Amino acid sequence: MLPYHRETHRTHRIGWLRAAVLGANDGIVSTASLIVGIAASHAAHDDIVLAGVAGLVAGAMSMAAGEYVSVSSQADTEQADLARERKELDDNVDHEQNELQAIYVARGLDPLLAEQVAEQLMNHDALGAHARDELGISATGTARPIQAALTSAATFAVGAVLPLLIVMFAPGANLIVFVSSASLLFLALLGTLAAYTGGSSLIKSAFRVTFWGALAMGLTAGVGAVFGTAV
């Protein structure tokens, strides 16, 4: 019997990495945009800080609730499919084995070998084999609502704190410039870190997050300037 060597792949990080990048990105973009928009309306410094803190708290809770609800829906769907597959295995195990065999034949196995593989996998873990090869449900991609919610909330808060710190120390006259520039730098670093962790292009990822961040801050600043002047 050949020794089993467990390898670690970047796809194993998909669950928490997606939630972490989404949370931190939203934290930086939404809070920086809110601060820039309020500052463009010529609001007082204390009002800008208050708006930023409120945005941090509301955003973190929104991210947690949104991730929990959406990922819970995915988990419910997975459980429903597994329950249906479990019943089908109880009702007609031969049909389910033939179904598994057909899947392996479609993937390129010889019919006889596919039959042997299907039989052995059914004897070992029938539900696990069908979950993985028929439904596409694996341990790597399994929905984890609590993990997604906590990760998104925590990383949103961390991301939102960064532009808030700039507000605390930046001179009032150049607040918009300092917050915008620093936030774009933070976004570029986040994109680079996410790309490095996931093994993708550093430049492409950094450009993607900074472009959309700059667009969001620019539009919000415009809205703040127009309505601030109007009021």
d(CA 46, CA 37): 14
Beta strands in the chain (DSSP E): none
User: Cβ distance 55 to 28 under 8 Å?
Assistant: no
pLDDT band at 174 (very low <50, low <70, confident <90, very high): confident
Amino acid residing at 95 = H
User: Is residue 46 within 8 Å of residue 95, measured between CB atoms?
Assistant: no
CB 104 within 8 A of CB 119: no
* Gap between the Cα atoms of 28 and 118, Å rounded: 49
Q: Which residue in the block uniquely carries the two structure tokens 């988990």? A: 75
Residue 164 pLDDT class (50, 70, 90 cuts): very high
pLDDT at 54 over 90: yes
Contacts of 115 (CB under 8 A, 6+ apart): 101
